[in-house]
Amino acid sequence: MKKLILASASPRRASLLRLLDIPFEIAPSNANEALDTILPPAEHVREIAQRKTKAVVHRFDHALVLGADTIVALEDAIFEKPNDAKHAADMLAQLSGKTHQVYTGLALTDTETGQTLTEVATTHVTMRVLSSEDIATLCRHWGFYGQSRCLRRAGARLCIYTIYIRLLLQCGGFAACVLLEPLSPSGRAIALGDHTRK
């Protein structure tokens, strides 16, 4: 069986892979996530996911490397991770009461053959109208690593798993949409062609 390598240090990505009950190792990627050109959101996450796998594949033999990237978009405008609390508050204000899209790109590369499978999943999320007090509460909610969870999430909308669900009016897509990390594409990619076995 080929080893599965997660090219990410993200705890939430690791926790989702564990739900698939597939053994894996973690190898954080140092890929450059800045794009020189503006791409549509779906192609943006696909490109970054592929960069993450490419930055890791040379470290392993007989393995599968999984890279992933997630962004939030509102009317095709991409929301990156906020720079500070004010930036996070501005993002939340823009998302308030609106339906936005969460794009997750996945890339799975076989280190022996060089073959790469890619997929993009989209989740449509409708957020309830947020008051200024709601936004302030979210942006001062401190999490792990001594940094606000708002500041560690694309679009500032994954501030916490327990409060965030109360902000949603509707979430269409995959069962893991509260975490905004679809499981189905990664499960299909790993299973495709029975790549985990030899």
User: What CATH number does the domain containing 64 carry?
Assistant: 3.90.950.10
The pTM (predicted TM-score) of the whole model is: 0.75
Cα–Cα distance for residue pair 45/39, rounded to 1 Å? 9
Q: Which domain holds residue 172?
A: 3-194
69 a catalytic residue: yes
- What is the maximum span of the chain, computed from C-alpha positions, in angstroms? 56
The active-site residue, picked from 69, 84, 90, 110, is 69
Lowest mean per-residue pLDDT among 8-22, 30-44, 126-140, 158-172: 158-172
How confident is residue 176, by pLDDT bands cut at 50, 70 and 90?
Answer: very low
pLDDT tens readout for residues 82-116: 777 788 888 889 988 888 888 889 999 999 999 99
For residues 69-87, average pLDDT: 83
What is the total count of domains within the chain?
Answer: 1
